[in-house]
Amino acid sequence: MTILIDHLHEPGTVEVEEKKVAEEQNELVLDAGFLVPKTNAFGHTFRDYDVGSERKDGVEEFYRINHINQSYDFVKRMREEYGKLNKMEMSIWECCELLNEVIDESDPDLDDPQIEHLLQTAEAIRKDYPNEDWLHLTGLIHDLGKVLNLPGFGELPQWAVVGDTFPVGCAFDESIVHHKYFKDNPDYENPAFNTKYGVYSEGCGLDNVLMSWGHDDYMYLVAKKNNTTLPQAGLFIIRFHSFYALHRAGAYKHLMNEEDIENLKWLKIFNKYDLYSKSKVRIDVEKVKLYYLSLIEKYFPEKLRW
Ligand SMILES: O[C@H]1[C@H](O)[C@@H](O)[C@H](O)[C@@H](O)[C@H]1O
Ligand SMILES: [Fe+2]
Ligand SMILES: [Fe+2]
């Protein structure tokens, strides 16, 4: 069988090679470079929100509620509240273990505990970018903000934790998944918020844009306020990895500044591993734990405020 390998060597360059693979069609072969599987664990193409899979109805209902409730005011309140970081004190690794309790209802491609996804993402990156240890760690921690769903963090509903993110305070772009449900969002008819720029201006920079509230922005705040030494690109990836309207559809570019354009290159690389490493192939936690503990020690304090 012949499948395509999309092997990235450095930011911005994509080299496509062909390789005969004897294994099952959907298997991820990590030691031969990163193979993008044709289908997800349910036998469908990735991020297909319309196909009648076993997850479709739940995912659509998730986005209906998400789109109705993620308003400018809501996001402002959440950012303020969670920016206090007064919920918990724990290490990065402790948080990885906590995440075992979370199953993401917004995801058509995955129904495993999140720790699997974290390790699959990080390990897939590590194979192709052995020298970018910051990117391995970014892979490991990018979804840790999903702990917002747990009791110790206010047990936020799924619609305020997971799913794709988008700017609030300006018009909702049509490329956003299940866009039709925005019509019941309070901001939809508000002339201050429903134009191309809304409360923003040309090239204002994504740092100044309020994004729908969830695990991305929360984890960004946690990392930043606990003085991580991760590079800017790592923080950018954590903060905007669910912003598919930007990194996949190319919407909202008019809000970006020069720095965002540079960081977006790394986000696009990261996204390939975040999305296509989702599979039923398990990683042996005990085998890789020491490596990740050493990275955590390099880039984070021992205990963080959450
Ligand atoms: O369903 C997924 C999941 O919640 C991911 O963690 C998030 O980053 C994606 O953007 C989203 O579509
Ligand atoms: Fe995520
Ligand atoms: Fe992820």
* Per-residue pLDDT at 24 exceeds 50: no
In this structure, is residue 261 part of a structural domain? yes
Return the minimum-mean-pLDDT range out of 71-75, 138-142, 282-286: 282-286
In this structure, is residue 64 part of a structural domain? yes
Measured from the Cα of 244, ligand 1's closest atom is: 10
In this structure, is residue 33 part of a structural domain? no
More confident residue, 126 or 43: 126
pLDDT digits (tens, 9 = 90+) for 243-268: 999 999 999 999 999 999 999 999 99
Which pLDDT score is estimated for 15? 37
pLDDT-above-90 percentage for the chain: 79
Mean pLDDT, rounded, for 196-211: 98
In this structure, is residue 211 part of a structural domain? yes
Domain that holds residue 90: 57-305
In this structure, is residue 101 part of a structural domain? yes
**Per the structure, how many domains does the chain have?**
1
Question: What single string gives the DSSP state of each residue in the chain?
Answer: -EEEEEEEEETTEEEEEEEE--S-TT---TBTB-B--SS-TTSS-TT-SSS--TTHHHHHHHHHHHHHH--HHHHHHHHHHHTT--S-EE-HHHHHHHGGG---TT-TT--S-HHHHHHHHHHHHHHH-TT-HHHHHHHHHTTGGGGGGSGGGT---GGGTSS---BSSSPPPTTSTTGGGGGGSTTTT-TTTSSSSTT--TT--GGGSPBPSSHHHHHHHHHHHTT----HHHHHHHHHTT-HHHHTT-TTGGG--HHHHHHHHHHHHHHHHHHHT-SS----HHHHHHHHHHHHHHHS-SSEE-
Quickly state the pLDDT bin for 33 (edges 50, 70, 90): low
Ligand nearest 110 Cα, by number? 1
The residue whose CB lies within 8 Å of the most ligand 1 atoms, and thus the one to mutate among 47, 104, 156, is 104
* Per-residue pLDDT at 14 exceeds 70: no
* 72 HSE (CA, 13 A, CB side): 18
What is the distance in A from the centroid of ligand 2 to the CA of 271?
A: 10
163 annotated ligand-binding residue: yes
More confident residue, 31 or 46: 46
What is the distance in A from the centroid of ligand 3 to the CA of 142?
A: 6
Mean pLDDT, rounded, for 159-188: 98
Measured from the Cα of 143, ligand 1's closest atom is: 6
pLDDT digits (tens, 9 = 90+) for 272-281: 999 999 888 8
Q: Average per-residue pLDDT in the chain?
A: 90
Which pLDDT score is estimated for 107? 92
Which pLDDT score is estimated for 148? 98
* Per-residue pLDDT at 19 exceeds 80: no
Which pLDDT score is estimated for 81? 98
In this structure, is residue 19 part of a structural domain? no
pLDDT digits (tens, 9 = 90+) for 48-61: 999 888 889 999 99
In this structure, is residue 249 part of a structural domain? yes
Residues 185 and 116: beta-carbon distance below 8 Å? no
In this structure, is residue 69 part of a structural domain? yes
Measured from the Cα of 274, ligand 1's closest atom is: 8
